[in-house]
Amino acid sequence: MDMEEVIIIRILIIEDEQDLLNALAKGLRLHGYAIDTAEDGQSGIELVTVNEYDLLILDLNLPAMDGLEVCRKVRSLLPQLLIVMLTARSQPNDKIFGLDQGADDYMVKPFHFEELLARIRALFRRDMRGRDPHLRYGELLMDTTAKIVWCGTRRVELTRKEYGILEYLLRRPNETISAELLLEHVWDMNADPFSSTVRVHINSLRKKLRNAKNNVYIETVIGEGYRLGKPTAPHSMEE
């Protein structure tokens, strides 16, 4: 399986041009990204305060609240959030000012979609170099740069959603993660919160991890959610 873009990245797009917004959302979803959208700055700010995003694609010419103001507010709330600005303003001073306001990258309209994809990949490669790209739990190893998962000497083939769930749990090894939080991060805000999709993917992931020598285990904490654990851990059960 091609693991180039298996990692689930949740992106918010704030863009008031409806055709461009729809095209970006559709294209990025086809490449495995979880996408939410907003058509104005205030709605976008409200979304970043209630959801956890990895990257923001932000238009500058927005109604009511300029994109630069949105960038400043988002940057003050979430210093680690990656921001790509999209704008028709093409003067060098515009780009410099946008980057100075907190953007990580800046693209001038019109642009090629493939270039946007490349810039997103480059931003995440750069971001990962600032931290250890290897996530470990027992004999489980996830290489977030190569997008490969190993249990001991055995490589584990995962779907995009399974990979996203496992990465989210590995980044929070001592936390109990609710199904709602997994649904919000690995899917998008249009996912049905009453569906069984998280449970189905957790069970599939468990089966793929079960053959590990030390049996890496996803524990169900009744009424709370899931966490990494061992078969002997209290309050654990297979669903």
Rounded CA gap, 228 and 206, in Å? 11
Query: Which helix (H) or strand (E) is 155 found in, with range?
Result: strand 154-156
What pLDDT score was predicted for residue 173? 80
> How far is Cα of residue 93 from the mean position of the Cα atoms in its chain?
31
The model's pLDDT over 164-177, given as tens digits with 9 standing for 90+, comes to 889 888 888 878 98
Q: For the chain, what is the mean pLDDT?
A: 81
Q: At a CB cut-off of 8 Å and minimum separation 6, what does 132 contact?
A: none
What pLDDT score was predicted for residue 127? 64
Answer whether residue 2 shows pLDDT above 50: no
What pLDDT score was predicted for residue 189? 64
Dihedral-angle region of residue 223 (phi above 0 means left; psi in -120 to 50 means alpha; beta otherwise): left
pTM over 0.75: no
Find the mean pLDDT for residues 92-108.
77
